[in-house]
Amino acid sequence: MKKQEILKQIFRMNKKAFGIALVSLTLGFSVAACADQGGDGQPLQMVQATDQGSAAVPGGPVDLTVATERAINSVVYIKVATRVRQSQQMQYFDPFEFFFGDPFSDPFGDYNQGQGQRGGRNRGQQQQRSQQPRQTGAGSGVILTADGYIVTNNHVVAEADEITVKLNDNREFKARIIGTDKTSDLALIKIDAKDLQPITVGNSESLKLGEWVLAIGNPYSLTNTVTAGIVSAKARTVTGNSKGIESFIQTDAAINPGNSGGALVNARGELVGINTMIYSQTGSYAGYGFAIPTTIMNKVVNDIKQYGQVQRAMLGVKGKDVDTYIEQLEANGEDVPDFGTTTGVYVAELVKNSAAAQAGIKEGDVIVAVDGKTVNKFGELQEILASHKPGDKVKVTILRDKKKQDVTVTLRNEQGGTDILEQVQTDDLGVALKPLTDAEKRQFGVNYGLKVTAIKGGKMKEAGVQKGYVLMTVNDQPMRTNDDFDAAVQEANNSDERVLWIRALTPSGRRASFAIELEQEK
């Protein structure tokens, strides 16, 4: 079979490989609004390994029973339930949509086709949504602190309306989301418990190829399952998603649906990775599993706990591995320049006004090291940058015309600044909201809306929102419940613009609109 005919499927490993993973794609990132406990200013008090070297034992047998005993009680079984809302084929008239429409569309264009829902004959008609039965799934998690902070995958809990954590001693606790990070596919949750057994966090950078590791989790709901394998590769890029962080530990330890969020530990029982996905044509184990290294995990969970969101440091380059670029040129019959190396990251494009551009890095340069750490491929560059915050200065070593140069770069945040960004919670906006009553819906002639019942000092008041106003849409999302508003705020927090575009009605029924910037730098 030709290489291009081989289908590659990456399956997120919760209980239903085609369940929660698909839900994550269809429902989006809304439930992260449950992250009401993040950003308390305090980092996690995790147990760090004292020996940061490799756990590999040269020339002798490895007893993995000790590692299992040390780690297994720190891995939990996570059950999630999600209420799925689906559109029904029931139309109702929405006067707010009829009058507001889409300000950027042709108000008459769809009418001529006789089928427009924005500007034509059906303008103002909406589909009624009704609540459907719950969908369930499961995954794994790892206890980081004795008081109940647990790390897992974002795709395990991001859409959950209810989370239950089962410990190895069969005790069960309800959990709440502290924060999630879609980019790294990590999440931090919390249970109200004491004297738990936190895992010891090791240094994933010290892993060696061929070193023994254990995957601990709950595949197919088979709780407390331990499988063994070796480190097959490091800094592996799998899907080629430019918006995600991909620097995976590859292992041949058997990993299956349900292992998501579970522990990858070394021969000392120290956490070195969070099991995340598999490479398979069937959805089950086929010899390739991938884990997020602890070098990335440490930064993500600490940022969520301390700031409420991940402080992502951006270099501002787009590129690829040098050897991959050379292969592409050869395949296209193009001349291959002499880069002076066959390893490193080729800079194909610079983001406009980025940190790299301002520092003098140019297209065609090859990045070979950061702060003295050798960079052989793009995954290694991502892993190094993932441990930094905006405002950090790093020394980037490049090859230009086969000559090495050191460039000092001040890393920036996703908005182009150098400051720490605080997560803006709904409480920070200074409003109390409640869904319209049936009588109020009749009064305003609408089918939904959130009424401002109280307002204090905050961004909403500064923008001109007043008590009695009715929020109809936020960033084009209808406001039917308080959860809708929380979800819109969370989505805006994680966007590049960080702005709430609000359409509202005044108490007299007059239309009003507001733009509220969530920028809150520290």
pLDDT digits (tens, 9 = 90+) for 124-170: 455 554 445 678 899 999 999 999 999 999 999 988 889 999 999 99
Smallest Cα–Cα separation from 321: which of 268, 382, 400? Answer: 382
Q: What is the total residue count of the chain?
A: 522
Domain boundaries, the chain: 38-77+139-154+175-307, 317-410, 426-517
Q: Residues 94, 110, 181, 185: which is the catalytic one?
A: 185
* 324-334 pLDDT per residue, tens: 999 999 999 99
Whether 520 has a pLDDT exceeding 80, the answer reads: no
CB 249 within 8 A of CB 234: yes
What would the CATH number be for the domain defined by 38-77+139-154+175-307? 2.40.10.120
CATH code assigned to 317-410:
2.30.42.10
185 is catalytic: yes
E-state strands within 218-259: 225-236, 248-251
Mean pLDDT over 179-198 rounds to 94
Same fold? 38-77+139-154+175-307, 317-410? no
Q: What is the reported pLDDT for 497?
A: 73
Note if 169 is an active site residue.
Answer: no
Helix, strand, coil abundance in the chain, percent, nearest 5:
20, 35, 45
Q: Which of 24, 74, 155, 321 is catalytic?
A: 155
Q: For residue 460, report the phi and psi dihedrals to the nearest 5 degrees.
A: -65, -45
H-run or E-run covering 109? helix 109-113
Question: Per-residue DSSP letters for 168-207?
Answer: TTS-EEEEEEEEEETTTTEEEEEE--SS--PPEE--GGG-
- How far apart are the C-alpha atoms of 417 and 388, rounded to whole Å? 14
- 432-483 pLDDT per residue, tens: 899 999 999 999 999 999 999 988 878 888 889 999 999 999 999 999 998 8
Q: What is the pTM of this model?
A: 0.69
What's the confidence (pLDDT) of residue 30?
27
Residue of 184, 260, 280, 354 with catalytic role? 260
Burial of 41 (0-12, 13-18, 19+ CB in 10 A): exposed
Per-residue pLDDT tens over the stretch 46-70: 888 877 677 766 666 788 999 999 9
pLDDT digits (tens, 9 = 90+) for 249-308: 999 999 988 999 999 999 999 999 999 988 777 777 777 899 999 999 999 999 999 888
Would you identify the CATH topology of the domain 426-517?
Pdz3 Domain (2.30.42)
* 388 noted as active-site residue: no
**What pLDDT is recorded for position 518?**
79
